[in-house]
């Protein structure tokens, strides 16, 4: 999600302009970081290599397991600022995906972004058009971010807020220690 990266970078820049430092962010101690790296490698690997056995069912299984690993990392680091918020956002996304078998996308998104449903699919992760049968549709992908060609859910905003807050607070941590 490019927009999450942009939010994290903006949070760091704002914190630096307020006297923070990237050294403070880099010195942040977190537990079980390897969970995130393994989950990301698996998710990216399946998107790049597209194994033939990766059916819709296996794709959702891989997505659920890797996202649960990231949620576990966030929960284990809940003492860090923004981690609980980020975990809540990711959990919201995971719940809507599990409830529907895919991430539901509103018709509005297709109109605004002028794409068809197949443009939003990637190996191991499927989107589906919202219907009357969609479970918790308000948690699905409902906000188009056209310039970035991304679609966001409420969970994405909550996740991004948690990550942004973490980066901002940890970048400012040196300023607080120095008494500024």
pLDDT in tens, 14-36: 999 999 999 999 999 999 999 99
Domain limits for position 13 = 2-17+31-171
- Domain assignment present for residue 22? The answer is no
End-to-end CA distance of the chain: 34
- Cβ count within 10 A of residue 155: 22
Residue 25 falls within a domain, yes or no? no
- Residue 24 included in any domain: no
Residue 38 resides in a domain: yes
The predicted-structure confidence for 50-91, as pLDDT tens digits, reads as follows 788 778 788 888 999 999 999 999 999 999 999 999 999 999
Q: Is residue 166 part of a domain?
A: yes
Is 179 a domain residue? no
- Give the max Cα distance, the chain: 57
85 falls within a domain: yes
DSSP symbol at 125: B
Partner residues linked to 127 by β-bridges: 103
Whole-number pLDDT of residue 24: 93
CB 73 within 8 A of CB 35: yes
In a domain, 99, yes or no: yes
Domain count, the chain: 1
Q: Are 91 and 75 within 8 A, CB to CB?
A: no
- Give me the pLDDT at residue 91, please: 97
Res. 122: pLDDT tops 60: no
With tokens 């999600």, the residue in question is 1
């Amino acid at each position: 999600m490019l927009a999450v990266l942009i939010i994290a970078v903006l949070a760091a820049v704002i914190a630096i302009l307020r006297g923070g430092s990237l050294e403070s962010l880099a010195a942040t101690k977190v537990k079980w970081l390897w969970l995130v790296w393994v989950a990301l490698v698996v998710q990216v690997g399946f998107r790049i290599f597209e194994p033939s056995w990766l059916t819709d069912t296996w794709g959702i299984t891989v997505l659920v397991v890797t996202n649960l690993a990231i949620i576990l990392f966030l929960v284990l680091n809940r003492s860090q600022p923004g981690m609980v918020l980020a975990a809540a956002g990711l959990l919201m996304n995971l719940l809507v995906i599990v409830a529907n078998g895919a991430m539901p996308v509103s018709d509005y998104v297709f109109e605004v972004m002028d794409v068809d449903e197949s443009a939003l699919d990637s190996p191991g992760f499927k989107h589906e058009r919202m219907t009357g049968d969609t479970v918790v549709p308000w948690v699905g992908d409902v906000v188009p971010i056209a310039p970035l060609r991304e679609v966001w859910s409420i969970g994405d905003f909550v996740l991004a807020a948690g990550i942004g807050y973490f980066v901002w607070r940890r970048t400012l941590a040196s300023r607080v220690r120095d008494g500024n």
